[in-house]
Structure 1
Amino acid sequence: MTNNFKQTDIGLIPEDWDIIRAEALFNRVSDGTHDTPKKLTDGYPLVTSKYIKNGTIDISEVDYFISKEDYLEVNQRSRVDKYDILFSMIGTIGEVAIIKNDPVFSIKNIGLFKSNSFELSEYCFYWFQSPIAKVYINNSVGGSTQKYIPLFKLRDFPIALPKMEERKKIAHVLSKIQQAIETQEQLIKTTQELKKALMQKLFTEGLNGEPQKQSALGGEIGLIPESWEVVEIKNCVEETQTRNPSLLPNKYIKYIDVSSVSNQSFSVVDHQYVQGIEAPGRARKVVKTDDIIFATIRPTLKRIAKIKSFYDDEYCSTAFCILRCKSKVLDHEFLFQYIRTDFFIERIGKLQSGASYPAVRDDNVKQMLIPLPQLEEQKEIARILSSLDSKIEFHSNNKIQLQDLFKTLLNQLMTGQIRVKDIEFDIDEEWESIPSGKVN
C-alpha cells in the first residue's frame, strides 16, 4: 500500500478522501422523460443526449419542440434547474454539461444530477470526465444495438471526494485550462473566418484595386481583375511520373494513402512505411517537394495537401491527382490556396460520378478553370493567406498541448497524485453566494 493512500473499489485514493455514491451526494439523481411528446415546429425544446457536446448543450441545434402542457408535465418529474448536471445515457454515453443559467427546456433519456451547489456540480462535472470515472461508465453500459447506461448505475456512481476547499481548487485548476482551450478555439474560429473573407476578396478583386471583369469562358469563375487571365490548370502544371515500388522489393518506401491526409490542417499527417514488395497496388504515383495532392475520391471532403521535403520522391495513392506547378507560370502556394476555396470545391463537386464512391478523374481536376494574375501578385496573395494558415496552425498546436495538459492533470488531480489543498489560489468567491449542497 502506498503511503498516505488507501485501496478502494475504484482504486487508490488519498487517505483523507471519501468514496460517496451519487445518490447520497446529490439532492436527487433522476432522468428525463421516457415518453415521446407530440413534436411541434415551435415551443419548448426537448433535449436528448445528442445535444450534449464538449461540456455544454447547444439549444440552437434542437429541432424537437413540445407544447407548454407537455413541457410542464415532463418537468413535474425531471425539471432541470441551475447548477444541475446533465449526463448522456443513450448512444454516446458519458457526455456531461453543467446548467449555468436558468433553463427553459425539458429532457428525454438524459441523466439528471440535481444540485443547488455550484461548487459540488463543477467538481463532479470534471470527475465524470476522469479516466477512473470512464472505467465505471464502460463497465456499466448495456444494450447491443443501442448502448445505454441504466439509471440505477448513475445513482450508484462512485465519486472520490476530497474536502470542499480541495474540491474548489481542483475545479479551479481544470476550469482555467478549459478556459485557455476555449480561448484558442475562438482564436482559430476568428482567424478562419477572416481568412475565408480575405480569400473571397483577394481571388475576385486582387491586390491592386483594378476594375473587374466577368471571367472568360462563360464567366464560370465570376468576377476577376481586368489584368488577370483565366486558364485551365493543365496548362500550368507539369507531367508527373508513376513507378512500381515492387521492382525494388527490399527498398522501404513512404506511402501516402487518402486517409493519411487531414482536411483540417490540409497536410499529410501519417504514412505507411513498407518494403516495395509489400506496397499496396495503389502506391504508384511519385511525389516531389511542393507538389499538391488532391484526392479524387469524394473530392468535396477536401483531402488536399502540399508535399513537404520529407516525402520527396516517395509515393502516393493513385486516388490522388498530383499538381506540380510550372514555377515560371503558377505559384504552387497560390494554387494550393485557391483549390481549397468553397467555390472551387463546389464546382468540382458537380463533376462527381458514382453512387457508392463518388469520384472525379485526374482530367476533371486538371481541366478546372482558375484565375491567373501575374506571378508576383500570385506570390503576394499566397503569402497573405499562408500567414493566416500559420496563425491557425499556431493556435491549433496550442490547443492540442492544452488538451494534453488537461487530460494529464484531470487524471492526476482526481486520483490525488497531485495535491492542491495547500496551494493558495485567487479563486472567485462565486460559491459564497450560492447555497451549499448536501456536502460541506
Structure 2
Amino acid sequence: MSFKAAEVGFVPECWLVEPLRHFLELITYGFTNPMPDADDGPWKLTAKDVIDGRINYATARKTTLEAFQNSLTDKSRPLIGDVLLTKDGSIGRVAVVDRTGVCINQSVALLRPNKKIIPEFLKYLLLSPHYQRVMEGDSDGSTIKHIYITRVDKMQVAIPPLHEQEKILQVISALDNRITLLRETNATLEAIAQALFKSWFVDFDPVRAKQQGREPENMDEATAALFPDDFEESELGLVPRGWRVGNFESFIKRLSVGKKYDQKTASSEGLVPILDQGKSGIIGFHNDTPGVKATLDEPVIVFANHTCYMRLITFAFSAIQNVLPFIGSGVDTVWTYYATKDRVKFSEYKGHWPDFAIEKAIVPNEELTCAYRNTVDPLIRRICENELQAQTLATLRDTLLPRLISGQLRLSEADAMIEQA
C-alpha cells in the first residue's frame, strides 16, 4: 500500500485529504437569545451537556415547545445524525445527535456531514488527539477558550473511503459499547445503594415496621436491632428516637491535599492521578507522593468547590485547587457520601463549601452507619471493578483511535490488540 503526506501524517493514498468543509453540508452554531426553561418540552443543550462523546440528557434543561418552534431558526435545531462540537469554555467535546426535539445554544457548533463521511466517524475524527490539538491551537481566549467555526471548517482532514470508515467504527464502537455497558451497570448498582439509603435513613422504613410490630424486611436480626421502634420531634420534624440533627460540618472531617497541582503540571504519564474540579475527574498524572491516600477499604469523598460535584474515591490521588476531600467523623464515610450527595446545587462562579457545610442531616449512631456500609460494600466493590475495567478499555480505545484515524494502524492489527486485551 502506498502513502501520501497530510497534516495528520502519512495516510493511505486512497484517502481524501481536504478541508473539513468539503465533508459538510452545514456548519453553524446555536441560539444567542435567552430561551425559557420548562419542566417538559424539547431539550436545550449547552456545552456542559456534551461530555464523554455523548449528550448527557441528565444535565440538560428543557424549554417550551412554543419557544422551540417560534423563537429559533433551523440552525439551532439539529437533526438526528448532526455532529455537535463544543466551541466555548470546555472546547472540543463532540457528540452525535440521537433524537429529535433538541436545540443548542451558542456554545455548541453544529456540523452536518454530507455523504462522504459517516457522522460517528466524524465524531471520532474530531476527538482524536491530532484534531483536538489543531482546534486548541486555533482557539482564542485566555480565561474562557473559544473555537471559531470559520477556522474549524478550514481544518485539513484525511478521510478514508466509506467502507473503511465503517470498519474503523466497528473497532472503536465495540470498545465504546463495552465501556457504556460497564458504566450503565454501575449506574444501576449506584441506584440500588441510594435506594437502600433512602429506605433506611430518609423514609425510615425499618423504624416504621418496628413501630407497627413488624420485622424490617430484607434485613438480618442484628441489623434490625440497631433501629429504634419509635419517633421523636426535632427541628426537622419527626425523626427516629435517639437520632440527632446536625450540620454537615458536625460529622465530616476535611483532609489536606498536600501540594496542589494545576493543568500544566499534569502529564499523560505517572503513577499518581490528579483530580480536577470539573466532572471529567482525572486530568493527568505525576510521580510525587500522593496528597490523599484513599483505598477501597478507606475511601475518601471529593467535593468540587466550584461545580458541586461529589465523588467517592478509592485510590490515592493529588488534586488541583478547589478539590476538597473529606471523610466521615463519628460516622462511616460511605454513609456520609450518600447523606451529603447532591445536597448543594451548582451556581456558577461561587464558592460552595460554606453553603454545603451548614446543610442539615438526620444522623444515626455510628454502629448503624457501619451496618449500612457493610450492606452496600459488595456494590461499591463491584462499581470500582467495573470502573477500572472501563478505564482500561478507554485507554486502549484512546491508543487505537489516533492510529486508526491516521491510517497508521491496520484493522487486523487493531483487532488483535483488542482480542489480547
TM-score where L is the length of structure 2: 0.64
Contact 2:23–2:115 (CA<8 Å) still a contact in 1?
A: no
- Output the CA distance in 1 between the equivalents of 2:245 and 2:37: 51
Counterpart residue number, 1:138 = 136
| 1:252 aligned partner | none
| Shift of residue 370, structure 1, vs aligned partner | 3.2
Please state how far the C-alpha of 1:44 moved relative to its aligned partner.
5.4
Of 29, 33, 37 in structure 2, the residue corresponding to residue 32 of structure 1 is: 29
Q: Which amino acid letter does the alignment assign opposite residue 404 of structure 2?
A: L
SS of residue paired to 1:175: helix
Q: Does 1:191 align with 2:189?
A: yes
Q: Which runs of 5+ in 2 are unaligned?
A: 207-215, 247-255, 261-273, 280-284, 317-324, 344-350, 417-421
2:166 corresponds to: 168
| Counterpart residue type for residue 85 of structure 1 | V
Paired position in structure 2 for 1:19 = 17
- State the match for 1:69 in structure 2: 70
Identity %: 18
Residues 292 and 322, structure 1, Cα contact 8 Å, conserved in 2 = no
Shift of 1:21: 1.7
Q: Deviations over 1:26-83 (max 9, x none)?
A: 2x23213565266475765554434323333345623455252323xx11x5653232
Matches of residues 313-332 of structure 1 in structure 2 within 5 Å?
Answer: none
Give the conservation status (yes or no) of the 8 Å contact 1:52–1:88. yes
Distance 1:257 1:10, change over 3 A: same
Supply the distance in 1 between the matched residues of 2:233 and 2:15 (Cα, whole angstroms).
Answer: 74
Aligned to 2:90: 92
1:402 and 2:401 correspond: no
Question: 2:310 & 2:103 partners in 1: Cα distance?
Answer: 38
CA RMSD of aligned residues (A): 5.3
Q: 1:371 aligns with which of 365, 373, 396?
A: 365
CA displacement 1:273-332 (0-9 Å, x = unmatched): 49xxxxx9xx9xxx9x9878789998x987888999xxxxxxxxxx97896x8xxxxxxx
Change (3 A) 1:262 1:126: closer
SS in 2 for 1:97: strand
Shift of residue 262, structure 1, vs aligned partner: 10
C-alpha distance in 2 between matches for 1:191 and 1:256? 29
| Residue type at the aligned position of 1:335 | D
- Structure whose alpha-carbon radius of gyration is higher: 1
In structure 1, what residue type is equivalent to 2:195? Answer: A
Distance 1:104 1:360 in 2: 35
Measured in 2, the distance between the counterparts of 1:116 and 1:293 equals 48
Which residue is equivalent to 1:120? 118
Decide whether the 8 Å contact of 1:188 with 1:395 is kept in 2: yes
For structure 1, which segment, 161-170 or 198-207, has the greater mean C-alpha deviation from structure 2 after superposition? 198-207
Return closer, same or farther for 1:394/1:171 CA change in 2, 3 Å cut-off.
Answer: same
Structure 1 residue 174: Cα displacement: 0.8
1:414 and 2:412 correspond: no
**For the Cα contact (< 8 Å) 1:169–1:421, is it kept in 2?**
no
Matches of 1:122 and 1:307 in 2, distance apart? 34
Q: Which residue of structure 2 aligns with residue 10 of structure 1? A: 8
When the two structures are aligned, how many residues end up with a matched partner? Answer: 353
1:17-416 → structure 2 map (5 Å cutoff): 17-26=15-24, 28-33=25-30, 35-36=32-33, 39=36, 41=38, 46-58=44-56, 61-65=60-64, 66=67, 68-71=69-72, 74-75=73-74, 80-101=78-99, 103-109=100-106, 110-115=108-113, 117=115, 120-144=118-142, 146-201=144-199, 205=206, 207=219, 208=221, 212-214=228-230, 257=258, 273=289, 335-342=332-339, 358=354, 370-371=364-365, 381-416=372-407
In structure 2, the CA distance between the partners of 1:152 and 1:344, relative to structure 1 (3 Å rule), is closer
The amino acid of 1:69's aligned partner reads N
SS in 2 for 1:192: helix
3-state DSSP of counterpart to 2:92:
coil
Distance 1:385 1:403 in 2: 27
Worse overlay, 38-47 or 51-60 = 38-47
CA shift in 2, pair 1:146/1:63, >3 Å: farther
Q: Distance in 1 between matches of 2:302 and 2:374?
A: 24
Q: Deviation string for 1:358-386 (max 9, x for gaps)?
A: 3999xx9xxx953366xxx8876543321
- Asked if structure 1 preserves the Cα contact closer than 8 Å seen for 2:51 and 2:93, the reply is yes
- Could you list the runs of 5+ residues in structure 1 that have no partner in the other structure? 234-254, 275-279, 309-318, 326-333, 347-354, 426-440
Deviation at 1:335, TM superposition (A): 2.9
Q: Which residue of 2 aligns with 1:430?
A: none
Contact 1:295 1:303 in 2 (8 A): yes
Cα offset, 1:19, TM superposition: 1.2
Q: How big is the shift at 1:179? A: 0.9
* Alpha-carbon contact 2:81-2:98 (below 8 Å) kept: yes
Residues 236, 245 of structure 2: 8 Å contact kept: no
How far residue 9 of structure 1 moved from its aligned partner, in angstroms, is 2.5
Instruction: Give me the whole-angstrom Cα distance separating, in 2, the residues matched to 1:345 and 1:217.
Output: 26
Alignment-mate amino acid for residue 213 of structure 1: D
Amino acid at match of 2:168: I
Distance 1:307 1:95 in 2: 27
CA shift in 2, pair 1:270/1:295, >3 Å? farther
Structure 2 SS opposite 1:160: strand
Secondary structure, counterpart of 2:80 in structure 1: coil
Give per-residue Cα distances to partners, 1:238-296, cap 9 Å, x unaligned: xxxxxxxxxxxxxxxxx9649789999xxxx999649xxxxx9xx9xxx9x98787899
Q: Is the 2:301–2:333 Cα contact (8 Å) retained in structure 1? A: no
Query: Measured at CA, do residues 344 and 23 of structure 1 come closer, stay the same or move farther in structure 2, by a change above 3 Å?
Result: closer
Query: Deviation digits for residues 204-225 of structure 1, max 9, x if unmatched?
Result: 537335685236795989766x
CA contact 1:21–1:155 (8 Å) conserved in 2: yes
> Could you tell me which amino acid in structure 2 is paired with residue 70 of structure 1?
S
